[in-house]
Amino acid sequence: MKSPSVITWIVGIGLFVGLCIVSPAAWAQAKGEKTFQATLTDAQGVETEVKNVIFYWEEKISEIAFVPHELKQIPVKRGTTTVNVKFNTIKFIDVKPGADAKTLPTLLVTLTNGKTGEFALAIDGKFKGDSDFGEVELPASGLKKIAFK
Contacts of 146 (CB under 8 A, 6+ apart): 38, 39, 40, 41, 90, 92, 93, 95, 127
Low-confidence residues of the chain: pLDDT under 70: 1-32
Q: What is the pLDDT of residue 92?
A: 97
Q: What is the pTM of this model?
A: 0.76
Give strand ranges (E) for 1-149.
Answer: 37-42, 47-60, 66-71, 73-78, 81-86, 90-96, 106-111, 116-121, 126-131, 134-139, 143-148
Q: What is the pLDDT of residue 61?
A: 92
CA torsion, points 46, 52, 53, 59, in degrees to nearest 10? -130
Q: How far apart are CA 77 and CA 16, in angstroms?
A: 44
Q: Between vectors from CA 78 to CA 76 and to CA 82, what angle results, nearest 5°?
A: 50
Q: Where are the alpha helices (DSSP H) in the chain?
A: 6-20, 24-30
Domain regions of the chain by residue span: 1-32, 34-148
CA-wise closest residue to 73 among 59, 60, 84, 58: 84
* Phi, psi at 102, each rounded to 5°: -90, -15
Q: What is the pLDDT of residue 27?
A: 47
Q: How many CA atoms lie within 13 A of 123 on its CB side?
A: 20
Q: What is the pLDDT of residue 106?
A: 96
Class of residue 108 by CB neighbours under 10 A (exposed 0-12, middle 13-18, buried 19+): middle
